Each structure stands twice: as structure tokens, then as C-alpha cells.
């Protein structure tokens, strides 16, 4: 078979794999229910001004406005949220996988398997977030890295795109630029041309990305009142550095990027053996990556950005979707090694260990374990896709109920973020709120009300053309997205809610006695008319949540189709 025929067959097989990937995304996405992070971006694109997208929103969202700007083209022109958001994301994912399949210098089985691993398919393909563009940026960075010294602008532009998709992009790109700068300086010193550094065009491209990175950092620096995961870490630097949990996370991150499952678990004692195994495997992977990159002359390129990223993830802030960036970086490193070094060279110690195994049984066992580890990311992808198809993963059903029963003109209240005192003698703990049958009910003492933090309206409002909630963003009701603010005067906000009277419906349990006094609530009862069960997935781990829709008791005659779904014979919890 001639070379042209071989290349033609490879193109046909690659196109078939890409088609399978795209069809798979379309099929699973058709069942996927949009979750908060997805609709939050859409609502920002729909209702925020372009000025706010650049000057205000990034301080609370933590990344540049690129994703919001892309979505705004559709959201501000009345496009339907479900099909549009999914179509945009699938388009970017397909483009990224086309670059991977047809440009990556990997063996065919690797190129054809990678698109179906967990992060590449499910977490970045089914969940509609800017990480689909991150995948494109990684591929472009890998493709342009080889000629970075002769054509530096292409490499820099791909890194700039990466920086504009996620804050972790700024960290990794910064690390890559540091490593590259060291290489450039070493080269100039070796050639005795250090005095020509200022005339080197690579220097000016590095200055370009530095300026853009500084602008992006200033743009996304959290506002003083921004609420995010890292805000919970209020310990001193010494306490943070001596917390062993951070080091555990750091060690298992390389394994979690592919086959690990520990971060998705609850961390109970029953999972200690799993954690122990992952710590061992993670440590081995760290050593293997260091030895491999050193052997292939990419140690600095790997270690500097990877340490920066994983340290930030472990010691300050990380969500499940960020772990996939570690997976992408692994692909990037092996891509540039294979392309620039003519293949991946194994360190001598690896070869020695391989040759020292004489037993065929042990060889088969090692090979079998290796195959299982490589297949698990695909298993996670299939499992998560199946669970997404089978169950609910959002609360858009509430929007359907409101529309079906023409309730959008009623006064609807949404649950806000509340911190309860969960001590043993404080009453009902917040994790048991879903058991409450009516409102008002006895609950734990409220320590803090965060009235801006309401996730439910963000998942319901995309299906309406206006704000239908009486207590959502009362000072800026045209903003249809959640403001990540936690410093506020809750009493003043409650006063503005009280001016609108009692709500007719309430989405999910909330302590309404924090808002209305005992006299106002005398004889008032809210009863649940619908119970929603939904799930969130990470690999094969499922977290199930429950929310109820409540209707005020005196309105039941107006809506006979809505029934009290729980046992009407008793009040399980004492009325306050």
C-alpha cells in the first residue's frame, strides 16, 4: 500500500473517530440539563452590559470576559439557551479534537482514545463552559511550540488565548514563559550574544503576553466583597502550609487528572485505603513525570508551570472542572516531547526496571494494571454520560411548573445562602432541610444571611424574558445572574423584600422568619407541592440533592391542580 493510500485511510479513520465524538456529544447533550455554572455565563451574556463584562463581572467570575462575549452574540439576540449554548460548546470541542486527532504526534490508539476520556468528553464536552476553548488553546500551543524560536508570535498568541479562558491559563502560560526565557538567556550566553537580548523578537513577544497577563490579572482580581471558594480559607499562612490535606491533594493531582477518584468522594474513613493507594500512585507519577521530562530535555518546561498550577489548586482554590487542566497539560508536555525529540525516550531506570521483570505472570499483571488505568478515564466518561442521560442534573423543571400553571406573575421567593448553627442543640441542621414539610418551621439558629447568593433563579430565569423573583437582585432586578457578593446589610435587603409583602410561592426551603416577624407570619403556612430530586456527577461519584416548591396554603383553592405532596396528618417539626 502506497504512502498516499495510507494517509488517505488515516484521514478516513480520523474523520470517523471525530464524527463518533461529535455525535456522542450531541446525543448526551440532548439529555443534559443545564447546571448553574452554565446558565450563569448565559445570563451574564444576556443581561450584563459590555462595560460590566470588562470592568465588573470578571472581578466576581474569576476569568476574562471571552466566554461571555462569545455567548452574548446569541444571548442578546434572543437565541434559546439550551440548543445555543450546547451548539457553541460542541463546535469548539469538535475543533479541539480535530486538532488533536490530525495534528498530535501520538500513536493512533492514543489519539483515537483521548477524545473519549472523562475531561475531554464529559466534563468539558457535556458541561458547557469555556474549557472547550481551553482545549483548542492547548492544541494550538503544542502545535506552535516547536517553532517558538523562529515564529514566536504564533506560540505567544496561542498562550494569550489560553490565558483568556481561565485564570489557571495565566499561571501555566506564565510558567511556560519563565522556562522559555531561561532557555533564551542560556542560548544567548552560550552564543555570547547576551548584549543582543533587547534586539531579539522573542523578547518583544514575551513583553506582549506579559502586558496582557497583567491586564487580565488586574481584571480578574477578586473584589473586596467577592465570595468564592478561597474565601473560606481564612487561616494564616503558617496554618495553610502545615495543613497536611493540602499536600495530599498536591500528591494525588496527577493521578486524579486521569484515573483517580478520591477528590470526588466525601473523604469518610471507608475511603482511607483509596486515598492511601492514590497517594502512592500519585507520588510515583510525580517522579515518573520528572524523570521523563528530564530525560527528554523538558524538565523546566514541565516543572515550573505545573508546580505553580498544582500548588494554587492544592493550597488555595480548586473545583472539579479545574482538574482537567492538569490532564490537558500532560497531553501538551508529551505532545511537544514527541514532536521535538522525535519520540519519547524512557529514562534508564525505567528500562532497567522493565528488563528486571523475568516472570511472564508479573509482566502480564503489570500490563493488565496499565491497561485498566488507561481505560478508566473512558469508563468514567461513559458512566457519567449514562447517569446524565438517566437522571436530572438541574432544576429547570421548576421553570416548566411555573409556566404550566401560569405562576410567573405571582410573588415568587427563592432560597438564599444561609449559614446555620449546626450544633447538637440548635435544632434542625441544614443538611436535613429537605425533610421539612412546611414553612415556617423550626430550624437551627441563623449565623449569617447572604442574600445575593441565590443559585436557583439563575437556573430558572433563562426560560423567562424577565426577572420573576421578588427577592433576586432587588437593587438591580435587570441583572439576571448571581452576584458573588457576601458583604452586605442583610437587614436592609430584608426590608426591601418585606415591602413587597408575603411571597405566594417559595423555591426551596428558606428561613422566612428571618425576613417577616411573628405577627406577619401568624396563621401563614407554606406547603410543598413538588419535590425535585437531582444529581451532580464527578466521574462515577453521584451527589443527590432535593428541593421543594412551596405554595402558600390560602392559594390552594386557586390552584386545585397543585397538591400538598407530603403527609398532611402531622407537623413533624415544631412551628416556631
Average pLDDT, the chain: 89
Instruction: Quote the pLDDT of residue 271.
Output: 74
| Higher pLDDT, residue 430 or 35 | 35
- For residue 142, what is the DSSP state? H
Question: What are the residues whose beta carbons fall under 8 Å from the beta carbon of 86, sequence distance 6 or more?
Answer: 29, 32, 128
**Which of 239-253, 391-405, 478-492 shows the lowest mean pLDDT across its residues?**
239-253
d(CA 192, CA 186): 10
Instruction: Quote the pLDDT of residue 264.
Output: 65
Instruction: Quote the pLDDT of residue 115.
Output: 97
d(CA 477, CA 48): 11
| Higher pLDDT, residue 218 or 233 | 218
Instruction: Quote the pLDDT of residue 343.
Output: 85
Question: All 3 cell numbers of residue 244?
Answer: 497536611
pLDDT at 434 over 70: no
Peptide bond into 440 cis (omega under 30): yes
What's the pLDDT band for 319 if we cut at 50, 70, 90? confident
Q: What are the tens digits of pLDDT across the range 329-378?
A: 999 999 999 998 888 888 888 888 777 777 788 877 778 777 888 899 99
- Measured in whole angstroms, the distance separating CA 141 from the mean position of its chain's CA atoms is 22
Give the rounded percent of residues in the chain with a pLDDT score beyond 90.
67
**Which of 107-111, 134-138, 429-433, 509-513 shows the lowest mean pLDDT across its residues?**
429-433
Q: Evaluate whether 430 touches 452 at the Cβ level (below 8 Å).
A: no
- For residue 347, what is the DSSP state? P
d(CA 326, CA 328): 5
pLDDT at 314 over 70: yes
Q: What are the tens digits of pLDDT across the range 287-304?
A: 999 999 999 999 999 999
**Which of 3-12, 23-32, 267-276, 366-375 shows the lowest mean pLDDT across its residues?**
267-276
Q: What are the tens digits of pLDDT across the range 149-174?
A: 999 999 999 999 999 999 999 999 99
Per-residue pLDDT, averaged over 314-326, amounts to 90
d(CA 282, CA 314): 14
In total, the chain counts a number of residues equal to: 576
63: helix, strand or coil: coil
| Count helices and strands in the chain by DSSP H and E runs | 24, 6
Question: All 3 cell numbers of residue 293?
Answer: 521530562
Q: What are phi and psi of 94, to 5 degrees?
A: -65, -40
Instruction: Quote the pLDDT of residue 235.
Output: 64
With cell 390552584, the residue in question is 559
Helix axes 81-103, 131-145, angle to 10 degrees: 20
Q: Evaluate whether 505 touches 413 at the Cβ level (below 8 Å).
A: yes
pLDDT at 13 over 70: yes
What's the pLDDT band for 436 if we cut at 50, 70, 90? low
Instruction: Quote the pLDDT of residue 570.
Output: 46
| Higher pLDDT, residue 329 or 421 | 329
Q: What are the tens digits of pLDDT across the range 509-539?
A: 999 999 999 999 999 999 999 999 888 888 9
d(CA 326, CA 298): 16
d(CA 142, CA 339): 9
Cβ count within 10 A of residue 355: 8
Give CA separation, 378 vs 165, 371, 375, 535, in Å.
Answer: 25, 11, 5, 21
Q: What are the tens digits of pLDDT across the range 182-207?
A: 999 998 888 888 777 778 899 999 99
pLDDT at 132 over 90: yes
| Higher pLDDT, residue 302 or 431 | 302
Q: What are the tens digits of pLDDT across the range 63-73?
A: 999 999 999 99
| Higher pLDDT, residue 373 or 477 | 477
pLDDT at 215 over 50: yes
Question: Of all helices (H) and strands (E), which one includes residue 419?
Answer: strand 417-420
Per-residue pLDDT, averaged over 482-501, amounts to 92
Per-residue pLDDT, averaged over 487-502, amounts to 92
With cell 390552594, the residue in question is 556
How big is the CA angle at 461 (ends 318 and 38), to the nearest 5 degrees? 30
Amino acid at each position: 500500500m502506497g504512502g498516499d493510500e495510507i494517509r488517505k485511510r488515516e484521514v478516513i479513520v480520523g474523520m470517523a473517530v471525530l464524527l463518533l465524538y461529535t455525535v456522542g456529544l450531541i446525543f448526551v447533550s440532548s439529555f443534559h440539563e443545564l447546571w448553574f455554572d452554565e446558565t450563569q455565563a448565559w445570563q451574564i451574556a444576556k443581561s450584563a452590559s459590555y462595560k460590566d463584562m470588562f470592568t465588573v463581572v470578571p472581578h466576581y467570575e474569576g476569568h476574562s470576559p471571552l466566554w461571555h462575549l462569545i455567548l452574548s452574540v446569541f444571548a442578546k439576540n434572543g437565541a434559546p439557551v439550551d440548543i445555543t449554548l450546547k451548539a457553541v460548546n460542541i463546535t469548539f470541542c469538535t475543533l479541539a479534537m480535530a486538532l488533536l486527532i490530525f495534528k498530535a504526534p501520538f500513536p493512533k490508539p492514543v489519539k483515537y482514545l483521548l477524545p473519549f476520556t472523562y475531561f475531554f468528553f464529559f466534563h468539558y464536552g457535556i458541561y458547557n463552559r469555556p474549557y472547550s476553548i481551553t482545549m483548542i488553546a492547548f492544541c494550538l500551543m503544542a502545535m506552535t511550540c516547536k517553532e517558538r524560536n523562529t515564529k514566536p508570535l504564533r506560540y505567544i498568541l496561542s498562550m494569550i488565548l489560553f490565558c483568556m479562558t481561565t485564570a489557571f491559563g495565566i499561571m501555566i502560560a506564565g510558567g511556560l514563559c519563565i522556562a522559555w526565557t531561561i532557555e533564551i538567556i542560556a542560548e544567548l550566553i552560550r552564543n555570547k550574544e547576551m548584549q543582543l537580548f533587547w534586539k531579539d523578537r522573542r523578547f518583544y513577544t514575551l513583553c506582549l503576553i506579559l502586558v496582557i497577563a497583567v491586564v487580565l490579572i488586574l481584571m480578574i482580581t477578586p473584589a473586596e466583597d467577592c465570595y468564592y471558594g478561597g474565601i473560606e480559607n481564612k487561616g494564616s499562612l503558617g496554618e495553610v502550609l502545615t495543613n497536611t490535606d493540602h499536600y495530599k491533594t498536591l500528591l494525588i493531582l496527577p493521578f486524579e487528572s486521569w484515573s483517580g477518584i478520591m477528590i470526588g468522594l466525601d473523604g469518610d474513613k471507608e475511603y482511607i485505603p483509596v486515598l492511601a493507594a492514590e497517594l502512592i500512585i500519585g507520588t510515583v507519577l510525580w517522579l515518573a513525570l520528572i524523570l521523563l521530562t528530564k530525560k527528554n530535555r523538558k524538565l523546566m518546561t514541565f516543572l515550573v508551570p505545573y508546580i505553580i498550577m498544582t500548588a494554587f489548586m492544592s493550597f488555595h482554590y480548586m473545583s472539579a472542572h479545574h482538574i482537567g487542566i492538569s490532564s490537558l497539560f500532560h497531553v501538551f508536555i508529551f505532545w511537544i516531547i514527541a514532536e521535538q525529540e522525535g519520540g519519547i525516550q524512557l529514562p534508564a531506570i525505567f528500562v532497567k526496571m522493565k528488563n528486571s521483570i523475568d516472570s511472564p505472570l508479573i509482566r502480564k499483571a503489570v500490563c493488565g494494571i496499565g491497561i485498566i488505568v488507561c481505560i478508566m478515564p473512558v469508563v468514567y466518561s461513559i458512566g457519567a454520560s449514562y447517569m446524565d442521560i438517566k437522571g436530572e442534573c438541574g432544576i429547570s423543571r421548576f421553570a416548566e411548573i411555573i409556566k404550566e400553571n401560569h405562576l410567573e406573575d405571582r410573588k415568587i421567593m427563592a432560597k438564599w445562602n444561609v449559614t446555620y448553627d449546626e450544633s447538637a442543640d440548635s435544632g434542625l441542621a441544614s443538611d436535613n432541610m429537605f425533610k421539612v414539610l412546611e414553612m415556617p418551621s423550626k430550624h437551627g439558629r441563623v449565623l449569617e444571611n447572604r442574600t445575593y447568593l441565590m443559585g436557583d433563579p439563575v437556573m430558572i430565569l433563562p426560560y423567562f424574558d424577565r426577572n420573576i423573583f421578588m427577592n433576586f437582585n432587588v437593587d438591580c432586578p435587570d441583572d439576571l445572574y448571581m452576584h458573588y457578593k457576601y458583604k452586605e446589610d442583610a437587614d436592609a435587603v430584608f426590608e426591601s423584600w418585606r415591602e413587597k409583602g408575603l411571597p405566594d410561592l417559595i423555591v426551596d426551603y428558606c428561613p422566612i422568619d428571618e425576613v417577616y416577624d411573628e405577627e406577619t407570619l401568624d396563621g401563614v403556612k407554606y406547603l410543598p407541592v413538588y419535590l425535585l430530586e437531582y444529581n451532580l456527577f464527578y466521574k462515577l461519584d453521584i451527589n443527590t440533592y432535593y428541593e421543594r416548591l412551596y405554595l402558600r396554603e390560602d392559594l390552594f383553592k386557586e390552584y386545585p391542580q397543585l397538591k400538598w405532596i407530603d403527609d398532611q396528618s402531622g407537623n413533624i417539626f415544631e412551628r416556631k
